[in-house]
Homo-oligomer: A and B are copies of this chain.
């Protein structure tokens, strides 16, 4: 099994409202199969998919989807100053503030919000693991603070 996640699927209760939430963050949809709304990430796709349809695919009752399974999606940025405005924008678009942007014990600057269906996003600046020019994130060689590429 190679190491990749091709598609992150977020089950949502109102797919059009959720799409508008991500568009309000500045994201652009790409063409996708009927019933899915997709956003291109780096080498990967984020798909919004109705909760009911996911339940059918998995053969489980739709009302067993909910709660918080402990998956968070981190969006890393190139400077600490970028963190708070993204979280404010998410909250303005109907997201829920989970933790305001703040220093965190490991030396980063981090905040959390939840989208319309409670999916948890971390917005983070990690001075120890700067993003590549293309936006790639990797801990390889983790240790000392590094200059961004």
* B74 and A5 within 8 A (CB): yes
* A45 and B137 within 8 A (CB): yes
* B30 and A1 within 8 A (CB): no
Q: How far is the CB of A102 from chain B (nearest CB, A)?
A: 11
* B70 and A66 within 8 A (CB): yes
Q: How far is the CA of A99 from the CA of B112 in the complex (A)?
A: 33
Residue from the list B44, B76, B134 in contact with A7, Cβ < 8 A: B76
Most chain B beta carbons < 10 A, residue from A26, A54, A64: A54
Q: How far is the CA of A73 from the CA of B7 in the complex (A)?
A: 6
Q: Which residue of B lies closest to A9 (CB)?
A: B72
Inter-chain contacts of A106 with B (CB < 8 A): 33
Residue from the list B2, B7, B25, B138 in contact with A135, Cβ < 8 A: B2
28 contacts between A and B (CB under 8 A): A1-B26, A1-B75, A3-B40, A3-B42, A4-B42, A4-B76, A5-B73, A6-B135, A7-B74, A8-B72, A9-B73, A11-B69, A11-B70, A31-B140, A31-B142, A32-B139, A42-B42, A42-B43, A43-B134, A43-B136, A45-B137, A45-B139, A57-B99, A58-B99, A64-B67, A66-B69, A66-B70, A71-B71
